[in-house]
Amino acid sequence: MYQERKALLNARAKVLKAMAHSTRLFIIEELVKGERCVCDLTDQIGADVSTVSKHLSVLRQAGIVCDDKRGNQVFYRLRVPCIINFFGCVESVLESQAQDHAATLSAVGK
């Protein structure tokens, strides 16, 4: 049952795992607007260039972005723009957590 599906589920998990970091989500959101070079992303994120480069590498290996070297800059773009549609549902999860939190506060009388 599970063993039969494990290979596919692992492949899916790998994609989700690649997205599961605030910096990488930020990069994805930026790339929805259009391609960006590593230096632009690095400026916005405010981390070491090597750190940003490794995050991009994670996204590339997962098949989420692809890159294009022009001159001495490397431009990244989304391979699969529908990625952004994920967030509607993720937001639903966050909202349902918020409701719980509100209910808890209410139960405690705050």
Partner DNA sequence: TGGCTTGTTGGCTATATTGCCAAATAGCTA
Partner DNA sequence: TAGCTATTTGGCAATATAGCCAACAAGCCA
Contact positions toward its own copies, by CB under 8 A?
Answer: 1-3, 5-6, 9-17, 19-26, 29, 44-46, 62-64, 79-80, 82-83, 85-94, 96-97, 100
Q: 77: which strand partners?
A: 66
Residue 78 binding DNA, by CB under 7 A: no
Query: Would residue 109 be called left, alpha or beta, if left means φ above 0 and alpha means ψ between -120 and 50 degrees?
Result: left
CA distances from 18 to 5, 65, 69, 88 (A): 20, 11, 22, 18
State how far the Cα of 53 lies from the Cα of 8, in Å rounded to an integer: 28
Answer for which of 28, 31, 58, 78 binds DNA (CB under 7 A) is: 58
Answer for which of 27, 31, 42, 64 binds DNA (CB under 7 A) is: 42
Footprint on this chain of DNA (rule: CB under 7 A): 17, 20-21, 23, 37-39, 42, 47-51, 53-58, 67, 69, 71-75
